[in-house]
Amino acid sequence: MVEQLQLAVGSKLPDDRLREILRAYAARISVGELRRRTGLSRNTLYWHYGLIRERLVMTGYYSVYPAIQKADVDAYRHIKADLNRRRGLRDDNFGWHVSELTFWQDEPDPSLVLKHIHQIIRLTGPLGYDPVLSDVEMEILRAYIAFTGPEIVASIRERKTEGSDFEEEQLRDAVDAADDLYKRYLATRKRMLRGRSRLNTIQAR
C-alpha cells in the first residue's frame, strides 16, 4: 500500500510529479535538466525547489547562515560559482542558498537525503505553508534533525573508507553515533506522544 503523504499545498501538480521533483532535488538535478525531463516550466520548478529549500532551512536540516548577504559572496569561494548561477538571490534568502550548497559539498547519498525530506514533511506538514507545531511536535522534530546529521556523516564515511584500521574505527564511531541518536528520536517520539495522549485524556474528563 502506497503511503498517502500530502507533499505540498498551493501546487497544481499531481503527487507523482511532486515526488519526481523531490527525487530530483535530492539527486541535485538542475532545474534546466529537470525541465527537459518533465516539460514543466522553469518558474514552476524553481518555486518547488524553493519550497524544499525553505523547509530544510527552517527545520535546521541545513545549517543556517542568517547574517550573510549577497555582498559577502566572495567569502564563499568554494561555492561562489554555484551561487553566481543561482537566480532570485536576495539578501533575505542568500544565507539559505549558502546553507544548501555547503551541505551538498560533501556529496551525501541522494536516497538518504530523500528519506530525510519525506520524514521532515511527515513531521511538519506539506510544503507551501509555514508549519505551526506544538511543543510536542517541535520536540520530536528536533530529535529527528539531531539524528540526520550523524546518519549522513556515517553514510559518507562508509562510502569513502578505504579499509585502514583508523578509518574503520571512525566509521564504527559514526554508525554508533547515528544509531544512538535514532534511538533517542524514537524514545522522544514515544515519550512525547504518550504525554500528549495522557493530557488529552485528562482534559476530556
What pLDDT, in 10s, does the model give residues 77-118? Answer: 777 888 888 877 788 788 888 889 889 988 899 999 999 999
Name residues whose C-beta falls within 8 Å of residue 7's C-beta, 6 or more positions apart in sequence. Answer: 15, 18, 19, 22, 121, 126, 127
Q: How does pLDDT run across 129-162, given as a tens digit for each residue?
A: 888 999 999 999 999 999 999 999 889 888 776 6
| 137 within a domain of the structure (yes/no) | yes
Report the share of the chain in percent with pLDDT over 90: 45
| 161 within a domain of the structure (yes/no) | yes
pLDDT of residue 118: 96
The domain of 202 spans: 133-205
How many domains would you assign to the chain? 1
User: In Å, how far from its chain's centre is CA 192?
Assistant: 23
pLDDT higher than threshold 90 for residue 26: yes
Grid cell of 158 as nine digits: 562508509
| 189 within a domain of the structure (yes/no) | yes
Radius of gyration of the chain (CA): 19
| 2 within a domain of the structure (yes/no) | no
Q: Chain-wide mean pLDDT for the chain? A: 84
